[in-house]
Structure 1
Amino acid sequence: MTRTRILLPIAFGLSLTGVALTGAMAAQAAHDSGAPIDFSAAHIELQDKAKQAILSGDVVVKQANMTLDAARMTVHYTGQIIGGSPQISRLDAAGGVTVVRPGQRASAQYAVYDLNSRVVTLLGNVRLQQGSNTLNGGRAHINLDSGLATMDGSAVGNGSGTTRQQNGRVTGTFSAPKRNP
């Protein structure tokens, strides 16, 4: 398998059009993973013994300035209750997944948000967008603390087979900065 690993300054917090970060962009790189998580869904199934809840039907999850949408989501919790709320450890999303932060959007078939490591992993037909910059691949890891993301074009199993992003390669378009003559 050809594996391309590329650091993505486009992904969630850094600009390709300039080397220096403005204060607003630098502040955007870190995500408040300790913020409350609000959700809405058409249906919820609580599986207390398994320490999980299954949300389905146009699921929308919001935390700080990030929104995660999917057709279905499994919320895993530790069983620990703090301040009257169960402590969530991971969100597994499937079906038309999108992750949106100010000025940035990611989409994929599947996503895993690990709240302990503060990493979002996107799988299957991944597309990252910031302005006119786009990247496409098979899998992306986004560190919400640093804003650093990696992407590769690897194959992704989907239970009934395997999907592969354009011959296992990362593709994309970067906008070039305008230069004065």
Structure 2
Amino acid sequence: MRVPHILATRVVVGVSAVLLSSTAVAQQSHNSNAPIDFGADHIELQDKANRAVLSGNVAVKQAEMTLNSARMTVAYTGQVIGGNPQVSRLDASGGVTVRRPDQTAKSQYAIYDLNKRVITMLGAVTLNQGGNVVNGGRLTMNLDTGRAVIDGSSVGGSTGATTGGGTVTQSGGRVTGTFSVPKRN
């Protein structure tokens, strides 16, 4: 019996998400109320649009999480509390890397919605956690639950990665992987 393409993709994605999120769920959730510290080579404030554009070696840190990129747009609500504008969203592009204590994710673009406490990463996504590496087209990380879900890319092509723990390949909209099994006596 042939399994429909969409069902097979969801099964593989579901298995990958369970393997990758098991450690993260046990970890304490991210403190998205912590202050956001940033650094960049250049900043342009656009007060009338309630945003700031950071460019050149952008580095953002919030609690135990860091986000690096070439460029970032910071949207804020217009409210100022304690002398600081209230940030609602970060849009990053160009070599985006998100690091948390138990995982590192890389992509071309990322959106951090501070109100929903969700980071969505798009374009040539790679998620490393422990010895597992998964590649795909889109990664969604829920910072409250620690759950990470990867979807396949809708464009053709093939990318792959090999680590000590296994090999994972993404091709034509699918996320697939091979994970090592611990040696038993």
Shorter chain as denominator, the TM-score bin is 0.7 to 0.9
> Does residue 166 in structure 1 map to residue 171 in structure 2?
yes
Q: CA deviation at 1:148?
A: 1.0
Give every structure 1 segment of 4 or more consecutive aligned residues whose post-TM-superposition deviation is greater than 6 Å. none
Paired residues for 1:55-134 under 5 Å? 55-134=54-133
Residue type matched to 1:100 in 2?
R
Q: Is the 8 A contact 2:70 2:93 kept in 1?
A: yes
Q: CA deviation at 1:112?
A: 0.2
Name which of 157, 178, 181 aligns with 1:176: 181
> Does residue 9 in structure 1 map to residue 14 in structure 2?
no
Aligned partners of 1:54 and 1:124: how far apart in 2? Answer: 21
The Cα offsets for residues 83-134 of structure 1, whole Å up to 9 and x where unpaired, read as 1110000000000000001131000000000000000000000000012201
Alignment RMSD (CA, Å): 2.2
Partner of 1:26: 26
**Structure 2 alignment gaps of length 5 or more:** 159-169
Partner of 2:135: 136
Paired residues in the alignment total: 164
Aligned partners of 2:27 and 2:102: how far apart in 1? Answer: 13
Q: CA deviation at 1:149?
A: 1.7
The Cα offsets for residues 120-166 of structure 1, whole Å up to 9 and x where unpaired, read as 0000000000122010000011100001121111337xxxxx98852
Aligned partners of 1:154 and 1:122: how far apart in 2? Answer: 12
Q: CA deviation at 1:14?
A: 2.6
Aligned partners of 1:163 and 1:32: how far apart in 2? Answer: 37
Q: TM-score, normalised by structure 1?
A: 0.82
Partner of 1:18: none
* Percentage of pairs with the same residue: 62
Structure 1's 127 and 87: CA in aligned 2 closer, same or farther, altered over 3 A? same
Q: Is the 8 A contact 2:27 2:146 kept in 1?
A: no
Aligned partners of 2:84 and 2:40: how far apart in 1? Answer: 18
The Cα offsets for residues 37-68 of structure 1, whole Å up to 9 and x where unpaired, read as 00000000000011100000010000000000
Aligned partners of 1:79 and 1:175: how far apart in 2? Answer: 50
Q: Is the 8 A contact 1:78 1:87 kept in 2?
A: yes
Residue type matched to 1:80 in 2?
Q
Q: CA deviation at 1:10?
A: 4.6
Aligned partners of 1:40 and 1:9: how far apart in 2? Answer: 34
Query: Higher helix proportion, which one?
Result: 2
Aligned partners of 1:81 and 1:163: how far apart in 2? Answer: 46
